[in-house]
Amino acid sequence: MTDLSQALAPARPRLAGRLKLALCIFALMAAVPPLAHALGEPFLIVVATRMMVFAIAALSLDLILGYGAMVSFGHAAYLGFGAYAVAVLSRAGIDDLFLHLLAGIAASAVFAALTGAISLRTRGVYFIMITLAFGQMAFFFFVSFSTLGGDDGVALTARSTVLGMPLLQGAQGMFYVTLALLVLVFAGLYRLTLSRFGRVLTGTRESALRMQAIGFRPFPYQLTAYVIAGCLCSIAGVLLANQAIYVSPAYMSWHRSGEMIVMLVLGGIGSLTGAMVGGLVTIALEEGLARYSEHWRLGFGLILVLVALFSPGGLSGLLRRLGLGRDAT
Amino acid sequence: MFNLFLLQLLNGAQFGILLFLVAAGLTLVFGIMDFINLAHGVLYMVGGYVMAMMMGATNNFWLSLAMVLPLTLAVGLVLEVLVFRRLYDRSHLDQVLATFGLVLVLSELVRIIWGSAPLSVAMPEILSGSVPLAGPVRYPVYRLGVIGVGLGVALALWFVIARTRVGMLLRAGAANRSMVSALGTDINRLFMLVFAAGAMLAGFAGAIVSPILSVDPGMGDSILILTFVVIVIGGVGSVKGAFCAALLAGIVDTLGRMFGPIILKSIMDPAAAAQAGRTIAPMLVYVLMAAVLFWRPAGLFGRSVAR
């Protein structure tokens, strides 16, 4: 009987644990700039900014992959749309961050709506591959765009401004704007996944057939989630372009899309905090290992293989099995 | 114009054959084991590097090619025993994570052993000429050889799959894995065999392409994605589908790059046509794939069963 009541009890306590973990992460991240200054390593701020940018990207992918069971292998395209929105608009003399975000989101929404509607006709492996195809189309579109540097990419003249103020110019300003957007994206997705919409989406993940049987057509929910995920990922793209002051098609290569899936699986899917942790840890690992050796990919690859072989459920699964942070999924 | 077309058609067929050699193993791994293997392109690269290494040691093309087969087979077996075997029952995502990690590990190992600079492999004397083809057009013997060998492999594969007992088990395994297992076939041995044979075919493709293209650490990546496209167009698990789709993709890609800009020039001004041609040509294969999946969501020869 206790088993049953446990199973039927709303997932409240688990969710509270999840929120606590997220708040801890935000607090830790907020402490990075003063710590980095105290340690005399301002480089850490730049690394932490990149970590958070990819945490946003991983969060956006978690909505469709973790909650909707739609494994998109072309998600890096939206990173590119955000980045190129910055490049195109700043070339036209428009420097405002909000307009850049708006343009990136609009472009992503259109692309995601069109390609999502076609991709959702397929299932399983075929869905993975058709999203890959659309991602590659976007990639090659920008590779051959010679006015924007083509294959080589294009350097930006300056970072975006916020309401006319050069808030992003310094590493610290860039960092806190990124952190603020990370918190916003997390909070938005947290609310969304707990809403009626999120519940229906999770239902289609478990069984599209049963959802249909109780009167929900999965397609509109899945497509909406697909579009939202694309839009959120373009936010990461806008930030990435600003952080590097450089935009290149390499942001949208299939390798990036694969890396985003890796982040998610590494952190644990379908919990938002897992995605965030995965994004942060992956970039931290990459940057950290790269400082030790030019052959860092060897170590990074080995870690991925070992996690896949011995720790199902990624890092969250590992924590659970160690008995730590039972609520930390 | 016709000569150019013929030439490019042959180039496309040669490229398609190459795609088929890599795709044949992958589509079986994909179809029978329901396993996503991102590391398959790396085996193609390993084939190229082993070929370059053996050529450096023996300077004998045929001997090197003969050595590539057992060596890539061995690499395939080692990977299967160490990594893949443990992942068959796991979700696609775990498989993506592990094989993505393997791609990083193996490419980096190749960089450590052979460096990042491209290596070249000399063509055998006997195949380095060209033969006349329709009037003034000549075509390299080696590329014709590649097409011939590829067709031979395709024929042999067809024979094995359609006419032998192993082939029967493969077809049955692709249709219903657990039923074959329940009827008393050691499915794990079958998996190992398929995987190793696929690795050998991919390595073989990497070896025979090495005199035409250079051998470099990125070669596996570039072919992997096209291989996936081929498999999905053909229908996962179908070798016949992979063959048709590989030729289709090879020819569409090659002709598109050549004739796309020429055709566009007739309807728009040259500068815009050149730009548009450059943009559209590399996308053509992906447009083809999206179109095929739109009308046939399980590929050309795929069975439309949801897993």
Query: Domain with A167 in it: what CATH number?
Result: 1.10.3470
* A327 assigned to some structural domain: no
Q: Is residue A152 part of a domain?
A: yes
| CB interface of B with A, residues 108-137, below 8 Å | 108-109, 111-112
Distance of CA B105 to the CA centre of its chain: 21
Low-confidence residues in chain A, pLDDT < 50: 1-2, 5-13, 325-329
Whether B299 and chain A come into contact, CB under 8 Å, resolves to yes
| CB interface of A with B, residues 54-93, below 8 Å | 65, 71
Q: B278 contacts in A (CB within 8 Å)?
A: 144, 146
Query: DSSP per residue over chain B, as a string?
Result: -HHHHHHHHHHHHHHHHHHHHHHHHHHHHHHHH----TTHHHHHHHHHHHHHHHHHHH--HHHHHHHHHHHHHHHHHHHHHHTGGGGTTS-HHHHHHHHHHHHHHHHHHHHHHH-SS-B--PPPGGGSSEEE-STT-EEEHHHHHHHHHHHHHHHHHHHHHHHSHHHHHHHHHHH-HHHHHHTT--HHHHHHHHHHHHHHHHHHHHHHHTTTSPB-TTHHHHHHHHHHHHHHHH-TT-HHHHHHHHHHHHHHHHHHHHHHHHHHHTTS-HHHHHHHHHHHGGGHHHHHHHHHHHH-TT-SS------
Q: Taking CB atoms and an 8 Å limit, are B282 and A254 in contact across chains?
A: no
Interface test with B, best of A119, A259, A297 (most B CBs within 10 A): A297
Residue of B279, B280, B300 to mutate when probing chain A, most A C-beta within 10 A? B279
CB A125 to CB B299 under 8 A?
A: no
Q: Which chain B residues are closer than 8 Å to A300 by Cβ?
A: 101, 104
A200 is written with which tokens? 């229906």
Residue A186 lies in a domain: yes
- Residues in a beta bridge with A249: none
Show the CA angle centred on residue A275, arms to residues A105 and B228, nearest 5°: 75
Give CB contacts under 8 A, 24+ apart, made by A174-177.
A174/A49, A174/A242, A174/A243, A175/A32, A175/A33, A175/A45, A175/A48, A175/A49, A175/A52, A176/A30, A176/A33, A177/A97, A177/A239
pLDDT of residue B307: 38
**Do B104 and A300 lie within an 8 Å CB cutoff?**
yes
Contacts A–B by Cβ distance under 8 A: 143
Which of B111, B236, B282 faces A140 most closely, judged by CB atoms?
Answer: B282
Q: Is residue A9 part of a domain?
A: no
Q: Where in the sequence is the domain holding A275, given as residue range(s)?
A: 21-321
- Cβ–Cβ gap B307/A124 under 8 Å: yes
Cα of B146 to nearest chain A Cα, Å: 28
**Chain B closest-CA separation from residue A153 CA (Å):** 15
Q: Do B297 and A122 touch (CB under 8 A)?
A: yes
pLDDT 10s per residue in chain B (307 long)? Answer: 777 888 888 889 999 999 999 998 888 888 777 888 888 999 999 999 999 999 888 888 899 999 999 999 999 999 999 988 888 888 888 888 899 999 999 999 999 998 888 888 888 878 887 888 777 778 888 888 899 999 999 999 989 988 999 888 888 887 777 888 888 888 888 888 888 999 999 999 999 998 888 888 888 888 888 898 899 899 888 888 999 999 999 999 888 888 877 777 777 777 777 777 777 778 888 888 888 888 888 888 876 544 3
Fill in the DSSP letter of residue A162: B
Chain A residue with Cα closest to B110: A298
Q: Chain B partners of A308 at a C-beta cutoff of 8 Å? A: 87, 90, 94-95, 97-98, 101
Is A31 an interface residue toward B (CB < 8 Å)?
no
Q: Which of residues 117-136 of A touch B (CB under 8 A)?
A: 118, 121-126, 128-130, 132-134, 136
Whether A4 maps to a domain, the answer reads no
Which residues, in sequence order, are bridge partners of residue B130?
A: B140
Q: State the pairing for strand pair A246-247/B130-132.
A: unpaired
A73–chain B nearest CA distance, Å: 10
Q: Are B18 and B227 in contact (CB under 8 A)?
A: no
* Chain B residue at shortest CA distance from A66: B93
Contacts of A255 in chain B (CB under 8 A): 221
User: Are the beta carbons of A126 and B278 separated by less than 8 Å?
Assistant: no
- Which residue out of A64, A128, A144, A212 would a mutagenesis test of the B interface target, given it has the greatest number of B Cβ atoms within 10 Å? A144
- In a domain, residue A10? The reply is no
Close Cβ partners of A185 (under 8 Å, ≥ 6 residues apart): A56, A59, A60, A232, A235
**Could you give the C-alpha distances from B201 to B28, B152, B153, in angstroms and in order?**
12, 12, 9
3-state secondary structure of A165: strand
Q: Which residue of A has its CA nearest to B305?
A: A123
- Interface touch B87/A308, C-beta < 8 Å: yes
Taking residue A98's Cβ as centre, other Cβ atoms within 10 Å add up to: 12
Query: Do A121 and B299 lie within an 8 Å CB cutoff?
Result: no
Judged by CB atoms closer than 8 Å, whether chains meet at A309 and B30 is answered as no
Interchain pair B98, A309: CB under 8 A: yes
Number of compact structural domains in chain A: 1
Local structure of A40: helix, strand or coil = coil
Compute the nearest-CA separation of A235 from chain B (Å): 25
Chain B residues touching A136 at Cβ < 8 A = 225, 283, 286
At position A80, the amino acid (one-letter code) is G
Provide φ and ψ at B119, rounded to 5°: -105, 155
- Please provide the DSSP assignment of B94-137 as one string: HHHHHHHHHHHHHHHHHHHHH-SS-B--PPPGGGSSEEE-STT-
Q: Is residue A7 part of a domain?
A: no
Interface contact B101-A303, CB threshold 8 A: yes
Contact B105 A302 (CB under 8 A): yes
Q: What is the DSSP string of B250-273?
A: HHHHHHHHHHHHHHHHTTS-HHHH
State whether residue B293 sits within 8 Å of chain A by CB: yes
pLDDT in tens, A260-294: 999 999 888 888 999 999 999 999 999 988 888 88
